[in-house]
Structure 1
Amino acid sequence: MRLIEIFVPDDDLATVEETLTEANVEHVLVDEAGPRGGVVAHIPVPSGGVDAVLETLYDAGLDESTYTVVSELSDATVSNVDELSEQYVEGPRGDTGISHPEIRERARDLKPATATYVAFAVFSAVVAVGGLLLNSAIVIVGAMVIAPFAGSTLSASVGAVISDREMVVDSFSSQAIGLVVALAGAVVMSFFLLRTGFVPPSLVVSRLDQVGAFTTPNVLTLVIAIAAGFAGAFALATDLPVSIAGVAVAAAIVPAAATAGIGVVWGQPLVVAGALVLLLMNIVVINLAAYVGLVSLGYRSSMVRSVRENVSVSLRTGAYTLVLVLFAVAVVVTVGATAQHIAFEQQVNQDVQSVVNQEAYDSLELVGVKTEYSDMNALGRVESVTVTVSRSSSDAEYDALAETLRTRITDDTGRPVTVNVRFIDYQQSRPSAAGTSPPLDPYPRLTQEVRELRTGLGRRLGVPSVCPADVRC
C-alpha cells in the first residue's frame, strides 16, 4: 500500500473531491495550516494505483507541480483495496513491483551526477585494465563494483515501460558517454603501462586467459547478459538491494570495454573487434532483457501508444527518432556480428571434437578450444584457433595434429585459420595386473626375524635353507 499526500487549493477542492468520489477512491481531507488556502488530501491506494490516481487528479484540473508526497504504508484499513487493484492496471498488479514514480526515482538514484559518473567510469576502466593484464579475476570484480553503469543502462527500460521518453533519451545518451569515457580511460591506462615498461611490449595479450574471455561473444556471454538484464530489472522493481543491479550490469560491460582499450594499444585489431562486438551485444541484450523483465513483473508499457498519440514534428521528436534509429542499427549490427561468430565457433568446436575422437588420437584428452573473434576476414587477418590437449609423456608426438585440424576447419567453414595445438604432458603410473605382484607385507620386521631364526636353525642342524613354495623368503 502507498499513501498519497497532495495539496489541493480551495479553487480545485470541489472538483477533486467529486473526482475521487466518482472513482470510488477513499480519502481524507485535512485543512492546511499554512498561509495558502486549501487542504491536504490523504489517499491510501495500492502500489499499482498511485500513477492512475494521480493522473485522474491531474486530468480533473489539479496542477502537476503541486505539493505531492508518496510514502509506503505498513498497514491500512481500506474497504475497497481489491477493487482498486483491479481497476488501476497502469502499474504492476499485486505487490510484486513498485509504482511508476518510485521506480522512476530508484532508476534516477542509481545514476550519480555527471561529474561523478564520468569519474567512476574512468576509474572502473583503469582497474579493469589492471585486472586483465594481471590475469586477476578478483581485481576485475573490483572494477565491476566501482562501475556506475547500472542507472544509465536500466533507466532506458524503465522509461519505456512508464512512457517517459525523456528518460529513454537521457539513458541512451548517458550510456554512449559512459562507454566512450571508459574506452578512453582503458586506452590511456594501457598506453601508460606499455610505455613505462610495467608491462612488456612483447606480451601477447590475446593469450591471457582473462583477456581472451572478453574478446569473443558466444552463447555463454549471451546468457550472462540476459541474466544481468533480468537481475537488474528485478532488483530495481522489487525489494532486492539495488547494488545487485550495479554488479550484474557491470559484469557484462566493464571488462569488455577495458579489453577493447588494451587491444587498441597493443595493436590487436581482432581483439578490439571482438571486444566491441561483445560490448555492444551486452548493452543491447541488457536493455531488452530489463524491459522484458519489467513487463513480466506486471508493468504495462504504453510507449507505442503514447508516441502514436502525441507524435508531432519538433526538435524533441527528431531526437527521439534518432535515438530509436541508432538503437535499431546497433541491434541489427550486433545480432549479425554475434550470430556469425557463434556459428563459426560452433563449427570449430565440432571439427576439433571430431578429429580428436578419431582412433589415431585415442590417447589424447581434449582440454579446451579457444577461437579468436571471427570478423569474416574484414580486417584482412586470419583467425586463430588454439586447441589444448593432454597426453602421457610416453605418447607419440602427433606432429600432424595441427595441420589435420587446420585442414578440417578450413574445409568446413570456408575460412582460412591458424591452428595452434598446446600439449599438456603428464606422467602416468598404472597398477599391475592382479596376481602378478606379491602382496605387501604388513609386518616386515617380524618377517625378517623369522627368516633369520630359520636360517640359524638350518645352519646348526646342517639343513640347507629352503623356502617353501607358499612362503615368501
Structure 2
Amino acid sequence: MRLIQIHVPNDDLPAVRGALSEGDVDHVLVDEAGPDEGVLAQIPVPSGAVDAVLETLYDAGLDESTYTVVTDADRTTVSNVDELTERYVEGPRGSAAISHPEIRERASDLKPETATYIAFAALSAIVAVGGLLLNSAIVIVGAMVIAPFAGSTLSASVGAVISDREMVVDSFTSQAVGLVIALGGAVLMGVTLQRTGFVPASLVVSRIDQVAAFATPNLLTLIIAVAAGFAGALALATDLPVSIAGVAVAAAIVPAAATAGISIVWGQPLMLAGAVVLLLMNIVFINLAAYIGLVSLGYRSSILGSLRENVSVSARTGAYALILVVFLVLVVVTVAATSQHIAFERAVNEDVESVIGSDQYASLELISVETGYSDGNLFGRAESVTVTVSRSSSDAEYEALAERLRTRITEDTGRPVTVSVRFVDYQQSTPTTTAAQPELFTRLVQELRELRAALGRAFGSAAVCPSTGAC
C-alpha cells in the first residue's frame, strides 16, 4: 500500500472531495497549520493505483504542482482495498507481482544516464579483457558487477508486456549501443596490451581456459542465459533486489563481448564467430526468457496486440516494424547457428567417449573435451577439437590416438577436424602392506563370524565363514 499526502486549497476542496467520493476512495482531510489555506488529504491506496488516483484529482481541477508526498504504508485498514485494486491497478492481481507503473519505473531506474551507461559498458569490457587474459575468474566477476546491461536488456520485455512501444525501442537501441561500445572497449584494451608488449602478440589466446570458455555456445551457456532472463523478470516484478539478477545478465553478456574483442585483435575468425554467436544467443534468450517470465507472472498485455489496434502508416510505425523484423531475423539466425554447433559438440563428445572407452585405452582417464566453434564450413577451415586425458608415466605413448579420434569424428559428423590430444602424466605409488585395523573393530568382526558359524551349525547349514575369509 501507498499513502498519498497532498495539499488541497480550499477553492479546490469541493471538487476533490467529490472526485474521491465518486471513486469510493477512502481519505482523511486534515486542517493545515501552515501559511497556505487549505487541507492536507491523506489517501491510502494500492501500490499500482497512485498514478490513477492522482490523475483523478488533477482532472478535478487540482494543480499538479501542489505539495505532494507518496510514502509506503506498512499497515493500513481500508475497507474497499480489493475494489480499488480491481478498478485502478493495471497488471497482475495478488501479491506475486507489481503494477504496470511500478514495474515500468523499476526497469527505468536500472538504466543509468546515457553518458554513464556508455562509460560503464566500456569499462566492464576493459576489465573483462584483463580478466580473460589473466585467466582470472575473480576479475571477470568484477567486470560483471560494474556492467550496466541489466536495465537495457530487461526493459524490452517489460515494455512488451505493458505495451510500451517506446520502452521497447529504447531498450533495443540501448542494447545495440552498449554492445558496440563494449566491443570497442575490448578491442582497444586488447590492442593496447598487445602493442605495448604486456601481452605477446604470438600468444595462443584460444588455449587460455577462461577465453575458451566464452568462445563457443553450448547447452550450458544457453541454460545460463535462460535462467538469467527468468531471474531478472522475477526480480523486476516482485520486491526482490534486481542487482543480483543484473550480475547474472552481465555474466551472459560481458565475457562473450570481451572474447569477441580479443578474437579480433589476435586475428582468430573462428573464435570470433563463436563468441559473436554466443553473445547473440545470450541476448536473444535473455529477452525471450524475461518476457515469458513476466507473462507467467500474470502480465498479459501484448505489444503485438497494441500494434494491431493502433496501426497506422507513419515513420514511427515503420521504425517499430523494422526493429521487430530485425529481432525476428536475429532470433532465427542465432537459433540456427547455435543449434548446429550444439549438435556438432554433442557428436564430438560421444565419439571421444566411445574411443577412449575402448579396451585399448583402458588406462587413460578422460578429463575434458574442448570443441572450437563449428561454423558449418563457412570459413573453409577445419573444426578444432582438443581432448585432455590423464595417464600414468609408465603407460605407452598412444601416438595414434589423435589420428583415430580425428577419423572417427570426421566419419560421424562429415566435417574436417583438427584433433589435439593433451596428456596429463602422473606417477602412482601403492602401499605394499595393508593398513592396520583398530583392535575393537577386528574383535567385532571375529565375533560376528563366530556367531554366523554357530547359527550355521544350529540350522544344519554348511555355509560357515572361514577364519581367514570374508562372510
Q: Is the 8 A contact 2:120 2:147 kept in 1?
A: yes
Give the Cα–Cα distance (whole angstroms) in 2 for the partners of residues 429 and 330 of structure 1: 56
Cα shift at 1:72: 2.1
1:354 is matched with which residue?
A: 354
Cα shift at 1:30: 6.9
Give the Cα–Cα distance (whole angstroms) in 2 for the partners of residues 55 and 296 of structure 1: 30
Give the Cα–Cα distance (whole angstroms) in 1 for the partners of residues 246 and 372 of structure 2: 29
Q: Is the 8 A contact 1:253 1:279 kept in 2?
A: yes
2:126 is matched with which residue?
A: 126
1:240 is matched with which residue?
A: 240
Cα shift at 1:24: 3.7
Cα shift at 1:131: 0.7
1:184 is matched with which residue?
A: 184
Give the Cα–Cα distance (whole angstroms) in 2 for the partners of residues 98 and 283 of structure 1: 25
Q: Is the 8 A contact 1:108 1:151 kept in 2?
A: yes
Cα shift at 1:19: 6.0
Q: Is the 8 A contact 2:12 2:62 kept in 1?
A: no
Alignment of 1:225-374 (within 5 A): 225-374=225-374
RMSD: 3.0
The verdict on how the C-alpha distance between 1:11 and 1:312 changes in structure 2, with shifts beyond 3 A counting, is farther
Give the Cα–Cα distance (whole angstroms) in 2 for the partners of residues 100 and 82 of structure 1: 17
Cα shift at 1:56: 7.0
Give the Cα–Cα distance (whole angstroms) in 1 for the partners of residues 286 and 57 of structure 2: 36
Give the Cα–Cα distance (whole angstroms) in 1 for the partners of residues 193 and 368 of structure 2: 30
1:104 is matched with which residue?
A: 104
1:138 is matched with which residue?
A: 138
SS at match of 1:44: strand
Q: Is the 8 A contact 1:7 1:66 kept in 2?
A: no
SS at match of 1:339: helix
**What letter matches 2:350 in structure 1?**
Q
Q: Is the 8 A contact 2:158 2:291 kept in 1?
A: yes
Cα shift at 1:136: 0.7
Q: Is the 8 A contact 2:46 2:89 kept in 1?
A: no
Cα shift at 1:322: 1.4
The verdict on how the C-alpha distance between 1:167 and 1:341 changes in structure 2, with shifts beyond 3 A counting, is same
Alignment of 1:51-90 (within 5 A): 70-87=70-87, 90=90
Cα shift at 1:77: 1.2
Q: For residues 351-399 of structure 1, give each alpha carbon's deviation from its aligned partner in whole angstroms, at most 9, with x where no partner exists.
A: 1111111111111111000000101010111110001111111111111
The verdict on how the C-alpha distance between 1:429 and 1:332 changes in structure 2, with shifts beyond 3 A counting, is same
1:115 is matched with which residue?
A: 115
2:412 is matched with which residue?
A: 412
The verdict on how the C-alpha distance between 1:77 and 1:413 changes in structure 2, with shifts beyond 3 A counting, is same
Alignment of 1:129-168 (within 5 A): 129-168=129-168
The verdict on how the C-alpha distance between 1:258 and 1:80 changes in structure 2, with shifts beyond 3 A counting, is same
Q: Is the 8 A contact 1:371 1:385 kept in 2?
A: yes
SS at match of 1:26: coil
Give the Cα–Cα distance (whole angstroms) in 2 for the partners of residues 51 and 294 of structure 1: 22
Deviates further, 241-250 or 4-13: 4-13
Q: Is the 8 A contact 1:131 1:137 kept in 2?
A: yes
Give the Cα–Cα distance (whole angstroms) in 2 for the partners of residues 31 and 88 of structure 1: 28
Q: Is the 8 A contact 2:16 2:62 kept in 1?
A: no
Give the Cα–Cα distance (whole angstroms) in 1 for the partners of residues 165 and 9 of structure 2: 30
Give the Cα–Cα distance (whole angstroms) in 2 for the partners of residues 64 and 292 of structure 1: 40
Cα shift at 1:184: 0.7
Q: For residues 99-136 of structure 1, give each alpha carbon's deviation from its aligned partner in whole angstroms, at most 9, with x where no partner exists.
A: 32222222222211111111111111111111111111
**What letter matches 2:405 in structure 1?**
L
Q: For residues 243-301 of structure 1, give each alpha carbon's deviation from its aligned partner in whole angstroms, at most 9, with x where no partner exists.
A: 21321211111110010000001000011101111111111111111222222333332
**What letter matches 2:225 in structure 1?**
A
Q: Is the 8 A contact 1:90 1:299 kept in 2?
A: no
2:203 is matched with which residue?
A: 203
**What letter matches 1:130 in structure 2?**
G
SS at match of 1:203: coil
Give the Cα–Cα distance (whole angstroms) in 2 for the partners of residues 182 and 64 of structure 1: 45
Q: Is the 8 A contact 1:226 1:285 kept in 2?
A: yes
The verdict on how the C-alpha distance between 1:196 and 1:63 changes in structure 2, with shifts beyond 3 A counting, is farther
Give the Cα–Cα distance (whole angstroms) in 2 for the partners of residues 425 and 411 of structure 1: 30
Cα shift at 1:57: 7.2
The verdict on how the C-alpha distance between 1:308 and 1:36 changes in structure 2, with shifts beyond 3 A counting, is farther
SS at match of 1:210: helix
Q: For residues 182-231 of structure 1, give each alpha carbon's deviation from its aligned partner in whole angstroms, at most 9, with x where no partner exists.
A: 10111111111111111111110011000000011111101111111122
Cα shift at 1:45: 2.4
Q: Is the 8 A contact 2:367 2:388 kept in 1?
A: yes
**What letter matches 2:176 in structure 1?**
A
Q: For residues 149-208 of structure 1, give each alpha carbon's deviation from its aligned partner in whole angstroms, at most 9, with x where no partner exists.
A: 111111111212222111111111011001001101111111111111111111100110
The verdict on how the C-alpha distance between 1:348 and 1:55 changes in structure 2, with shifts beyond 3 A counting, is farther
Q: Is the 8 A contact 2:341 2:374 kept in 1?
A: yes
Give the Cα–Cα distance (whole angstroms) in 2 for the partners of residues 87 and 278 of structure 1: 45
How many residues in Structure 1 have an aligned counterpart in Structure 2?
Answer: 436
Q: For residues 54-74 of structure 1, give each alpha carbon's deviation from its aligned partner in whole angstroms, at most 9, with x where no partner exists.
A: 67778x787997767643211
Deviates further, 421-430 or 33-42: 33-42
2:92 is matched with which residue?
A: 92
Give the Cα–Cα distance (whole angstroms) in 1 for the partners of residues 48 and 392 of structure 2: 65
SS at match of 1:373: coil
**What letter matches 1:373 in structure 2?**
Y
SS at match of 2:370: strand
**What letter matches 2:404 in structure 1?**
T
Structure 2: unaligned runs, 5 residues or longer? 438-471
Larger radius of gyration: 1
What TM-score do you get using the length of structure 2 for normalisation? 0.84
1:401 is matched with which residue?
A: 401
Give the Cα–Cα distance (whole angstroms) in 2 for the partners of residues 176 and 139 of structure 1: 25
1:452 is matched with which residue?
A: none
Give the Cα–Cα distance (whole angstroms) in 2 for the partners of residues 326 and 152 of structure 1: 17
What TM-score do you get using the length of structure 1 for normalisation? 0.83
Cα shift at 1:308: 1.9
Give the Cα–Cα distance (whole angstroms) in 2 for the partners of residues 194 and 34 of structure 1: 68
